[in-house]
Amino acid sequence: MGQATAPAAGQPMGDLNTTPLIDVMLVLLVMFIITIPVATHSIEVDLPLPCGTDCPDLPTPDAVKNKIVLDDQNQILWNGTAVTEQQMAALLIQTTQMDVEPELQFEPTANASYALAARTLDTIKSVGVSKFGFVGNERYRQFASAEEDS
């Protein structure tokens, strides 16, 4: 390794100070690495429906509207047919995958389990149903005043 010698008196220094240049290059390299997008790979997989062996007995969803009713015996009725929570989830997935998503109507009876209604609403939300509405609420509200009833 050579040793730098002091220049003769009165001559300018001939070496370039590269430390600031290296610092700037390192900062630019770090900024470049940070801005590069992370490579993500996606593979489409056809997953089975969440109902398992109960799937063949599922009713077919209607293309225009479907109705979920919770009755007093804690049964879930899909368009009048009793289904389990897993079957309901599978039916909801089928409706969201249709070309035109049908309307989903939700009608719990007056004495339906609040816990079952909450689980059902959670399932509807997690599946991603976009056309959703409550029906039958008008039965539980009196619109006439007490004077009109007499």
pLDDT of residue 125: 93
Q: pLDDT > 90: what percent of the chain?
A: 35
Are the CB atoms for 85 and 117 separated by under 8 Å?
no
pLDDT of residue 126: 92
Q: Which amino acid is at 103?
A: E
For 45-66, what is the mean pLDDT? 71
Full-model pTM: 0.56
Confidence of residue 53 (pLDDT cuts 50, 70, 90): low
Are the CB atoms for 54 and 84 separated by under 8 Å?
yes
In this predicted structure, the answer to whether residue 113 has a pLDDT above a threshold of 60 is yes
pLDDT of residue 103: 92
Note the residue count of the chain: 150
CATH assignment of 62-137? 3.30.420
pLDDT of residue 110: 85
Please give the residue that has the higher pLDDT: either 44 or 66.
66
Out of 17-21, 58-62, 143-147, least confident range = 143-147
pLDDT of residue 40: 76
Q: Where are the beta strands (DSSP E) in 11-80?
A: 65-70, 76-78
Separation between Cα atoms, residue 29 and residue 8, nearest integer Å: 38
Domain map (residue ranges) of the chain: 62-137
Beta bridge partners of 117: none
DSSP state of 53: G
